[in-house]
């Protein structure tokens, strides 16, 4: 990563917003750092009988607007600064979507791919045990994130409920539907992003039917984005990559067939009738829509001027470095920033919380309609702010979100 870590990226983005808003220095200082964070040791009995101690975190960035909300990542390269950055972005994301929530995030340094199902369950239950006093349906509500699953959320919810002595479905979201999960959660991140892209296409006068799309990253968000872009809008998916490489076909790819190929082989690489393409080259394709759905910091000042897509929809967290934003903006690339574009996940997680609280569950169609009603006005509030201040879409998203958080802080008498 160039010079800055993710948390420094997040702080730099906030600093730009503070300058635009002429934010009071005391308020700015409060917003630059998390309100509280927990560091935990997680001793877990492994299958060979040994005990391994994992390091974990839970960061609650700001709860002025309500209980904090954010996923739990299991990753071998996890750091507390990454968790802090993601908690900050969750704060702005929830405010931007006008959800009554603050931002949080959790993480454990581990490699789930090297662990058995039993070891993962014991780690999940240990994590829930260690953060029990720190989280809760009205304090901080976790969810799945990188390398965590609905099943893992079910284990954590069960462990928390055992400690609490009663059913606590609302302590965590992204659960299996059988234990309080919401219909429509699986594709929510991608679907919300596609709703935002639809509005951007209207703004730019781009016909989505037949529009060319390139997707970097073919995990949950990327694969659903490809499938939905084709099924909802009849887009032409011409390129897809994953961590091992990528494929290109200018006549178009069948996203579901590509996903089936990946599930069988472990990668999209080698899919029939395609040309190989790298993760670097896919970003610079001459397409209508580019969707970075993999890693952070892939669009930088080194390659930003080579981006030819008309719309960039950030489904990944932090795929664009701060110094690249203005290059894209000045070149006429319409970027939908991550904490707007990928906000469908937390929005449907919020819907799951609501359903848990009053024990009545919506069907998938109702979830989709409600998600659209959240994503569409959020996109237009950012677009209008971008035009009003003459600033790029990321800065505009920060302006909208930070103003809402500051308003809550003032109304509560914090500042």
User: 71 with 59: CB under 8 angstroms?
Assistant: no
User: Does position 1 have pLDDT exceeding 50, yes or no?
Assistant: no
> pLDDT for 342-391, tens place per residue?
999 999 999 999 999 999 999 999 999 999 999 999 999 999 999 999 99
Tell me what the mean pLDDT of segment 164-184 comes to.
96
Confidence of residue 4 (pLDDT cuts 50, 70, 90): low
pLDDT recorded at residue 98: 97
Domains and CATH numbers, the chain: 34-179 (3.40.50.10860), 188-341 (3.40.50.720)
Query: Which residues are the active-site residues?
Result: 105
Angle at 316 between CA 265 and CA 86, to 5 degrees: 125
Query: Within its chain, how far is the Cα of 259 from the centroid?
Result: 21
pLDDT recorded at residue 274: 97
Tell me what the mean pLDDT of segment 63-72 comes to.
97
Tell me what the mean pLDDT of segment 45-61 comes to.
98
pLDDT cut 90: percent of the chain above it:
95
Please indicate, yes or no, whether the overall pTM of this predicted structure exceeds 0.85: yes
Rounded Cα distance between 300 and 95, Å, is 27
User: 212 with 235: CB under 8 angstroms?
Assistant: yes
pLDDT recorded at residue 194: 98
Could you tell me which residues are beta bridge partners of residue 279? Answer: none
Rounded Cα distance between 312 and 201, Å, is 11
Confidence of residue 318 (pLDDT cuts 50, 70, 90): confident
């Amino acid at each position: 990563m160039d010079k800055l870590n993710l948390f420094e990226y997040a702080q730099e983005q906030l600093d730009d917003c503070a300058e635009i808003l002429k934010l009071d220095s005391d308020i700015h200082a409060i917003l630059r750092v998390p309100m509280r964070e927990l560091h935990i040791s997680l001793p877990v009995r492994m299958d060979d009988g040994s005990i391994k101690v994992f390091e974990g975190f839970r960061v609650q960035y700001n709860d002025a607007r309500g209980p904090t909300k954010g996923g739990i990542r299991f990753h071998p390269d996890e750091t507390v600064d990454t968790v802090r950055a993601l908690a900050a972005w969750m704060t702005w994301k929830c405010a931007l979507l006008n959800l009554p929530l603050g931002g949080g995030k959790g993480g454990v340094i581990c490699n789930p791919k090297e662990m058995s199902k039993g070891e993962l369950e014991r780690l999940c239950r240990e994590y829930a045990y260690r953060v029990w006093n720190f989280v809760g349906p009205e304090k901080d509500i976790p969810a799945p994130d990188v390398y965590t699953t609905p099943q893992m959320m079910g284990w954590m919810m069960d462990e928390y409920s055992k400690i609490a002595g009663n059913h606590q479905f609302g302590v965590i979201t992204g659960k299996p539907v059988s234990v309080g999960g919401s219909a429509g959660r699986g594709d929510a991140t991608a679907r919300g992003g596609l709703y935002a892209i639809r509005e951007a296409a209207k703004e730019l006068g781009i016909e989505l039917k037949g529009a060319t799309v390139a997707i970097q990253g073919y995990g949950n968000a990327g694969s659903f984005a490809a499938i939905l872009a084709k099924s909802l809008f009849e887009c032409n998916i011409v390129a897809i990559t994953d961590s091992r490489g990528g494929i290109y076909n200018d006549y178009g790819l069948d996203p579901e067939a590509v996903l089936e190929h990946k599930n069988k082989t472990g990668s999209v690489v080698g899919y029939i009738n395609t040309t190989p393409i790298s993760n670097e080259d896919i970003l610079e394709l001459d397409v209508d829509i580019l969707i970075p759905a993999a890693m952070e910091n892939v669009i930088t000042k080194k390659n930003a001027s080579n981006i030819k897509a008309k719309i960039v929809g950030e489904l990944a967290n932090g795929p664009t470095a701060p110094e690249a934003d203005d290059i894209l903006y000045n070149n006429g690339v319409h970027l939908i920033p991550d904490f707007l574009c990928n906000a469908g996940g937390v929005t449907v997680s919020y819907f799951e919380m609501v359903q848990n609280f009053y024990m009545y569950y919506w069907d998938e169609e109702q979830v989709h309609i409600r998600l659209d009603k959240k994503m569409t006005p959020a996109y237009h509030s950012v677009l209008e702010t971008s035009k009003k201040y003459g600033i790029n879409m990321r800065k505009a998203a920060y302006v909208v979100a930070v103003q809402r958080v500051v308003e809550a802080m003032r109304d509560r008498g914090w500042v």
